[in-house]
Amino acid sequence: MPLTRPLTPDDLDALLPLQEAGAVAALGHIFPQETHPFPAAEVRSRWVHELADPGIRSFAAVEDGELVGFAAVRGAELFHLGTARPTWGSGLAARLHDEVVAAIARDGHAVAWLRVFEENRRAIRFYERRGWVATDEVSWSLFPPHPVLRRFELPLR
């Protein structure tokens, strides 16, 4: 049975607190909450636009009728992947990752790519265990304090 279904605007009220809790826990050292609090209104607005964009596929991970994770892809790019904080360490993120990467492969892409904050060692370990490889390409987050993002790639064939 698939873990995911399409994410819809009706999911936003459950998604935003789930995403915020994970972001604060995982990225608090990159975005100190005292000076750079989670930008809930901006994140919600971005999701509204992304959910309306036909070039973006968004996924809701659901267990027992409850939203427990999310992901989104644009072409070969995996640009959102997160799970509810209480599920960390349960294997849910790996299952969600595998399902979403399989969707990218089914779309005919030979290589998937994503960006990870260079200071997010936990996420980097997660992706490296799944075969993702860091490239030399970097960019900077649009959110202050504009930390460095490193591009990772995963061969799909």
CB-CB contact of 34 with 42 (8 Å): no
Q: Indicate the domain borders of the chain.
A: 4-155
Q: 4-155: what fold?
A: Aminopeptidase (3.40.630)
Q: Could you read off the pLDDT tens digit of each residue along the chain, which spans 157 residues?
A: 679 999 999 999 999 999 999 999 999 999 999 999 999 999 999 999 999 999 999 999 999 999 999 999 999 999 999 999 999 999 999 999 999 999 999 999 999 999 999 999 999 999 999 999 999 999 999 999 999 999 999 999 7
- Identify which of 94, 101, 92 has the alpha carbon closest to the alpha carbon of residue 72: 101
What is this structure's pTM? 0.95
The gap between the terminal CA atoms of the chain, to the nearest Å, is: 24
